[in-house]
Chain A
Amino acid sequence: MTGKRFTVWAFSVSALAAVVAAGTIAWLSVRDDTPSQRGDASVTGNGLVGLGEYLVRAGSCEGCHTERGGARFAGGRAIETPFGIVYSSNLTPDASGLGGWTGDDFWRALHNGRSRDGHLLYPAFPYPNYTRLARGDADAMFAYLKSLAPVAAAPKPHALRFPFDQAAALAAWRALFFRPAGFQPDREQTPSWNRGAYLVETLGHCNACHSQRNAFGATAGPLDLAGGLIPVQNWYAPSLNDRNEAGVETWPVADVVALLKTGVSAQASVQGPMAEVVAGSTQHLRDADLVAMATYLKKLPSRTVNVVVTEASVGNVGNKAGRVIYERHCSGCHGERGEGVAGAYPALAGNRAVTLTPAANLVHIVLRGGFPPTTAGNPRPFGMPPFATVLSDEEVAAVLSHVRSTWGNHAAPVSTLEVARFRGSAR
């Protein structure tokens, strides 16, 4: 009897503890779920729609919410994550999209990460960034989306693996990593710096790629821009505050603006996922906003982490196998000494995109080739041919190791294994 009574007692205590824990997680996952604030009513009508269109572009919404070749904003694009596939939703004003939504519903999605019916949204939708948006901006975005032609496109069910498909898992994730917030301007800084901070931290959601995610897929927050390997795609989004990676501390503002506006600048060009960002978002931003972003990015606290390998440990001689491949396939455009052709083919000597570690992006570019995006400022970009069908993993490793360790470059070699790993994700 005593034993049985103990079992009942222990069960009751465990059940109570579970209820308390679940309640705590549930509360933490929706804490600060404040009632909606009202927006700034000074902009209305067409002005509101125009502003909303601009902000929707600044937020790159169309990129994820449009399937390849599909109707704009009708959703259905598969966003691959380490936890499975999340399908984007329909943002057009159809019954299967935002048709029945109010401005308050839309605000709650952006600010609290909860859908119209209250269910929690997966953070593939970057509401940890959008939570800092101003209510007036959210209202403008909503007005623009409501002005689109409705497209019937029923939402596709996500294909997440257990336990990530469980509502409790999402609640726990939010309890740990999400809290609604607002943008806090820094009074010590200029209005332009603050505008840049707002765009980078909120709509730009730059940290979604440019920071390392933990085992639960969470970033350290919108202010962390220290670089990270993009999950599944395996492109490396370089650190924005490391001058050996993609930090712009030493760049003229005009070069940062040119890169975001046209996809190319005197110092670099964009390819891969960043080409998508420039094509769909930053090329459409006003110069004043691009200058603001550049101002903010230039003042990021400098942290040099990606220390280049010293000449003593690598030598500065390249390697013979790599040199032969380079001379056959690469030197025609990139030059015999990696000098490139200004405005057309990037120099490889002294190019930090070449010496980045990991070398993921280099492997992608050699295997798949690529163009920077077409933009008003660069309507006919120069392209690089793909070599996936020409060079073996071993040859790619040899030629990349060569260019990373000659003409003054001092980066670690690339192994055949690394090439194989990135080739696998290059499809």
Chain B
Amino acid sequence: MKLRFARVAGCVGAACLWAAATLAGAQPAPFEDSLGQRLLACTGCHGKEGRAAADGYYPRIAGKPAGYLYNQLRNFRDGRRHYELMAGLLAPLGDDYLREIAGHFAGLEVPYAVPLPAAETSAVRAAGESLVRRGDPGRGLPACTSCHGTAMTGRAPFIPGLLGLPRDYLNAQLGAWRNGKRRAAEPDCMAKIAALLAPADIGAVSAWLASQPVPAATARPATASEALPMACGGVDGSAAAAASGAQR
């Protein structure tokens, strides 16, 4: 889908406005001062459900946990994640606005697309499913589900869901964690986990996750409260304030 942000059309929810295609001769929607209108700079690339482009994949941001989105916005702005366009856009923005932006996108409910079938062999997918559901205790690798939820739809407000993401995006992110290109606040639990994963593990996990449909009823992040198997800097402490702000 090509980037178009010319006409604005209303969708679900009072504050939900999406960039839509220009139709020749169509009358422009009247300007409405809303957060969605102010954030066309985001949806121009990320679209409704994420968007593939020549330079990579722009992930879906709608419906992700507010604390997670807020942490990522700060990580890009403060140099823990690296993508120049994101860093440049966020550079002049303060924490309060980033919190509102995170809350805005977290509050959007956009249906997930049907996943593409996996091209990998069933053995590879089975290995991926096993790592996701059970981890590998021998290597000290916790199950993905132990933090991201048994339904893999994340855990509010900091831990994102793992479903509805394309394989290439998952591969790229796990690879970036593994080689230190993507970082989070210390203690950086995902960096430790990614360091334990071999490239073949990453391929298997991504292949299986990307082929799973998103269960409609549980697409929202759960609010489970079991203890996490390891300490994560993005989940507690300073970031806790983010969640309460985002849920305002």
Measuring CB to CB, which residues of chain A are less than 8 angstroms from any residue of chain B? 67-69, 263, 271, 275-276, 279, 327-333, 336, 341, 344, 368-374, 379-390, 427
Contacts and interface: CB of A to CB of B under 8 A. Distances in A.
CB-CB nearest 10 A-B residue pairs: A385-B44, A383-B41, A332-B6, A69-B78, A373-B92, A275-B92, A374-B94, A69-B79, A68-B79, A374-B97
A374 B85 contact: no
B89 to A, nearest CB: 6
B22 interface: yes
Interface stretch (B30-38, B120-128, B141-149, B174-182): B30-38
Given A332-B4, A380-B38, 18 more contacts: A275-B91, A276-B92, A327-B24, A329-B6, A331-B22, A332-B28, A368-B84, A370-B92, A371-B92, A373-B92, A373-B93, A374-B93, A379-B94, A384-B40, A385-B41, A386-B44, A389-B85, A390-B2
A385 B31 contact: no
Interface residues of B, number: 42
A368 B89 contact: yes
Given A383-B41, A384-B41, A390 B31 contact: no
A380 B42 CA distance: 14
A378 to B, nearest CB: 10
Interface in B6-33: 6-8, 19, 22, 24, 28, 31, 33
B22 A332 contact: yes
B136 interface: no
A271 B35 CA distance: 20
Contact of A389 (B4, B37, B53): B53
Contacts of B22: 327-328, 331-332
Nearest to B87: A68
Contacts of B78: 68-69
A427 B88 CA distance: 9
B45 interface: yes
B85 A386 contact: yes
B100 interface: yes
Contacts of A369: 41, 44, 85, 88-89
A388 B55 CA distance: 10
Nearest to A278: B92
Given A68-B79, A383-B38, A386-B44, A370 B97 contact: no
Contact of B42 (A329, A344, A372, A383): A383
A388 B5 contact: no
B80 interface: yes
Nearest to A331: B6
A351 B86 CA distance: 27
A385 B86 CA distance: 10
A379 B5 contact: no
A263 B93 CA distance: 12
A371 B28 contact: no
A215 B227 CA distance: 62
A279 B92 contact: yes
Contacts of A69: 77-80
A259 to B, nearest CB: 14
Interface in B63-84: 77-80, 84
A385 B55 CA distance: 16
